[in-house]
Amino acid sequence: MDPARTAHYDLNHLLAYLRSGYPLLATSRANFPSPFTGHRSMGSLCYVTDGTRCWLDDLADHVQEHQLAIPDVWYAAIEAQRFQMPALTEA
């Protein structure tokens, strides 16, 4: 958590980007306690991707609620894409 690092974020666009990742894998959220509260909750937890990076689908919530900073190089890449999720192609 680093409010100084997140102060320059275009927060609304970043959150939308993080929430629009393509799902890769899902599991029960009850298996993983929150890293901030330690509580377990109900529902699913998904790994999502933009084709380059992979993150948990609740990352946007942690950025918003706890000022969690993502790596600067990742933010710069998202910003360079104008916060647009790239289309995935089949390999």
CA-only gyration radius of the chain, Å: 14
Contact between 78 and 66 (Cβ < 8 Å): no
> How many other β-carbons are positioned within 10 Å of the β-carbon of residue 69?
18
Residue pLDDT, tens place only, 39-86: 888 888 899 999 999 999 999 999 999 899 999 999 999 999 999 999
- CA-CA distance, 91 to 79, in Å (whole number)? 25
Query: 3 or 81, which is more confident?
Result: 81
Domain layout of the chain by residue ranges: 3-32+41-80
